[in-house]
Chains A and B, each alone.
Chain A
Amino acid sequence: MPSIRLQGSDGEIFEVDVELAKQSVTIKAMLEDLVMDDEGDDDPIPLTNVNVAILKKVTQWCTHHKDDPPPPEDDENKEKQTDDITVWDQEFLKVGQRTLFELILAANYLDIEGLLNVTCKTVASMIKEKTEEIHKTFTVESDFTEEEEAQMRKEKLV
């Protein structure tokens, strides 16, 4: 199986099977731009936005999902669910918040639709029904002024 070499943001080189790597639309496009020479030692593809630790996780996901059928066309009328994450994916994503967000950033940069969907669904299910505690769960600082906060509480839209 031919493989390609990827260089993470930390400089480290990581080798991965070509077919797996092509799950990333970004890498696939890069490969089409470069001329692939089977014999020669190619320069590794630089991925400035992803470190190797996350690359390894991403590869792990792609390996498990390599035989997945392509995702269906995005149907606006189809109800979006968060409860259809497979058990394997749930286990895979039992990681710290930071890693979860790094996976989102990587999936976004590398353009891997399936991984982006499942990581975002996971975050969405963490938001679900948190109401007041979204601040705490995600340690987000509120940047509203006191007046603005008071105004919002008064409105109470829903």
Chain B
Amino acid sequence: MAAVEAETAPLTLESLPTDPLLLILSFVDYRDLISCGYVSRRLSQLSTHDPLWRRHCKKYWLISEEEKSRKNQCWKSLFIDTYSDVGRYIDHYAAIKKAWDDLKKYLEPRCPRMVLSLKDGAREEDLDAVEAQIGCKLPDDYRCSYRIHNGQKLVVPGLLGSMALSNHYRSEDLLDVDTAAGGFQQRQGLKYCLPLTFCIHTGLSQYIAVEAAEGRNKNEVFYQCPDQMARNPAAIDMFIIGATFTDWFTSYVNNVVSGGFPIIRDQIFRYIHDPECVATTGDITVSVSTSFLPELSSVHPPHYFFTYRIRIEMSRDALPEKACQLDSRYWRITNAKGDVEEVQGPGVVGEFPIISPGRIYEYTSCTTFSTTSGYMEGYYTFHFLYFKDKVFNVAIPRFHMACPTFRVSIARLEMGPDEYEEMEEEAEEEEENDDSADMDESDESDEDENESDEGQGEERQRRVFDVPIRRRRCSRLF
């Protein structure tokens, strides 16, 4: 009987019926699927069952049904062809391709110039040539991204975002690999650092460390921040923006496509808005977003520059007689040490905006801290347009500002304590002559801060080094 025969016949993978075998193969990774094809004729035939390969094409190469019909190929051959082109990046490809696809889709209607400025992907040979030129290997995820798009033509607006204050404009373009290679750093303090971005107005760049050196981890992305107090030009502190190229690029793209970074007049502005940072008084809502400017900040001396953008709006449904005009502002500024400063003055950035139902008013200003973080809060005073004697306050929600993780240069650690004393005196002399940030309109001029930053141990991620800093000027514009 069939039952008896079945017991004595060997039961192997081979002898399973087709449906369960295909189900087993559907769970198996692409490498193993290929390996199965070498085992026996039947497995070879089953492993080429095309729907099995659809899953791998979608997972690793993000190939859509539509693209497959366009290319008129079967899934398996699509997989193999793509593998022979970019197989070495298979572990990174999906994440990076998705980031590019999402970014372009989001920017096409909003920043068409930016999308048009993207260059076609570089070829493997081009990337190899750059490696030969700089004498270092490029990270695989970097190469993968550059196979998709070779940076931007150096035009405004930059893919990596802009920032505008009254006398300071910056826009970071994504460099193509050859231009980047031209900026490859060999000097002490920035060894093995390749620029990723560049701003033609300010010369600002973000760098990636292609090799570990001078206290940097391999693949870190950072802004350089020269140590102004050390006499050693190799003393360059760093604000760390990403642990790897993928980390840096995908988190940037997420911030853009989620609407986190506002698009203003076809440029991306890297303002960070905490959705809870909103205050409503009556019909008026105030919200704030902030941005850290590394190019105007330093760790030594501690000077952390932030810009903030405030949005004041009145609900559309408010009654017309609610229309009002801003008279003055009051600020309460607290740094990480708990030092508080109060400031008040007429108008905002020299204006006295009128807010009426449905109207939105936005303005930008800036502030600095001598600590790595701080917060601000306050209120505006308004009067009703039609009842000029009636005044009322509108709350500004508390908003926090904190600089990115930073790392102190190795060069500073290697300095002896004696060099320090000398530096201190020099720094103080310079301070008195120094014209602090010549930023825009301010009613209150520079405040003299007699803060003493004794021991900066509370600041995060530092190589601890006690630097008593006596007098520091901190110019603030509210």
A binding-site residues for B, Cβ under 8 Å:
9-10, 48, 51, 76-77, 79-82, 98, 101-102, 104-105, 107-108, 116-117, 120-121, 123-125, 127-132, 134-135, 138-144, 149, 152, 157-158
B106: interface (CB < 8 Å): no
Q: How far is the CA of A105 from the CA of B7 in the complex (A)?
A: 13
Least CB distance, B35 to chain A, in whole angstroms = 5
B23 touches A131 (CB 8 A): no
B36 touches A120 (CB 8 A): no
CB-CB nearest in chain B for A123: B24
Of B10-18, B239-247, B329-337, B466-474, the stretch lying at the interface with chain A is: B10-18
Of B25-33, B171-179, B180-188, B381-389, the stretch lying at the interface with chain A is: B25-33
* B13: A residues at CB distance < 8 A: 101, 123, 138, 140
B20: interface (CB < 8 Å): yes
* B26: A residues at CB distance < 8 A: 80
B40 touches A140 (CB 8 A): yes
B264: interface (CB < 8 Å): no
B19: interface (CB < 8 Å): yes
CB-CB nearest in chain B for A125: B27
**Given known A-B contacts A105-B17, A124-B24, A131 and B35 have beta carbons under 8 A apart:** yes
CB-CB nearest in chain A for B42: A143
Q: List 20 A-B contacts (CB under 8 A).
A: A80-B26, A81-B27, A101-B12, A104-B16, A105-B11, A105-B16, A116-B20, A116-B23, A120-B27, A127-B32, A129-B32, A130-B32, A131-B32, A131-B35, A134-B36, A135-B39, A139-B10, A140-B43, A157-B83, A158-B87
Given contacts A140-B12, A143-B41, 5 further A-B contacts (CB under 8 A): A9-B2, A48-B3, A124-B28, A128-B28, A129-B32
CB-CB nearest in chain B for A11: B3
CB-CB nearest in chain A for B79: A158
3 smallest beta-carbon distances between A and B, as pairs:
A124-B27, A9-B3, A138-B13
* A10: B residues at CB distance < 8 A: 3
Contact pattern, B 70-113, Cβ under 8 Å of A = 1, otherwise 0? 00000000001001000100000000000000000000000000
A120 touches B23 (CB 8 A): yes
Least CB distance, A102 to chain B, in whole angstroms = 7
* B7: A residues at CB distance < 8 A: 51
Interface size classification for chain B: 35 or more
* A143: B residues at CB distance < 8 A: 40-41
CB-CB nearest in chain B for A129: B32
Q: How far is the CA of A112 from the CA of B36 in the complex (A)?
A: 26
Least CB distance, B368 to chain A, in whole angstroms = 47
B59: interface (CB < 8 Å): yes
**Given known A-B contacts A123-B24, A124-B24, A101 and B31 have beta carbons under 8 A apart:** no
Q: How far is the CA of A131 from the CA of B55 in the complex (A)?
A: 20
* B44: A residues at CB distance < 8 A: 144
**Given known A-B contacts A108-B17, A108-B19, A158 and B36 have beta carbons under 8 A apart:** no
* A121: B residues at CB distance < 8 A: 27
B40 touches A80 (CB 8 A): no
**Given known A-B contacts A101-B12, A102-B11, A104-B16, A130 and B35 have beta carbons under 8 A apart:** yes
Q: How far is the CA of A105 from the CA of B30 in the complex (A)?
A: 25
Least CB distance, B305 to chain A, in whole angstroms = 44
Checking A9, A81, A105, A128 against B32 with a beta-carbon cut-off of 8 angstroms, the contacting residue is A128
Q: How far is the CA of A59 from the CA of B20 in the complex (A)?
A: 20
Q: How far is the CA of A51 from the CA of B27 in the complex (A)?
A: 28
Q: How far is the CA of A84 from the CA of B35 in the complex (A)?
A: 23
* B460: A residues at CB distance < 8 A: none
B391: interface (CB < 8 Å): no
Q: How far is the CA of A144 from the CA of B41 in the complex (A)?
A: 7
Least CB distance, B44 to chain A, in whole angstroms = 8
B27 touches A140 (CB 8 A): no
CB-CB nearest in chain B for A10: B3
Checking B3, B15, B36, B80 against A157 with a beta-carbon cut-off of 8 angstroms, the contacting residue is B80
Q: How far is the CA of A96 from the CA of B80 in the complex (A)?
A: 36
B24 touches A158 (CB 8 A): no
Least CB distance, A149 to chain B, in whole angstroms = 8
B34: interface (CB < 8 Å): yes
Checking B11, B14, B23, B58 against A117 with a beta-carbon cut-off of 8 angstroms, the contacting residue is B23
* B80: A residues at CB distance < 8 A: 157-158
B20 touches A138 (CB 8 A): no
* A125: B residues at CB distance < 8 A: 27
Checking B10, B27, B39 against A142 with a beta-carbon cut-off of 8 angstroms, the contacting residue is B39
**Given known A-B contacts A108-B17, A134-B36, A158-B30, A139 and B12 have beta carbons under 8 A apart:** yes
* B28: A residues at CB distance < 8 A: 124, 127-128
* B17: A residues at CB distance < 8 A: 105, 108
**Given known A-B contacts A105-B16, A116-B23, A121-B27, A144 and B11 have beta carbons under 8 A apart:** no
B465: interface (CB < 8 Å): no
Least CB distance, B111 to chain A, in whole angstroms = 29
**Given known A-B contacts A116-B20, A127-B32, A140-B43, A82 and B58 have beta carbons under 8 A apart:** no
Checking B10, B27, B58 against A77 with a beta-carbon cut-off of 8 angstroms, the contacting residue is B58
Q: How far is the CA of A139 from the CA of B23 in the complex (A)?
A: 20
Least CB distance, A84 to chain B, in whole angstroms = 11
Q: How far is the CA of A9 from the CA of B15 in the complex (A)?
A: 19
Least CB distance, B10 to chain A, in whole angstroms = 8
* A138: B residues at CB distance < 8 A: 12-14, 39
B363: interface (CB < 8 Å): no
A98 touches B40 (CB 8 A): no
Least CB distance, B89 to chain A, in whole angstroms = 14
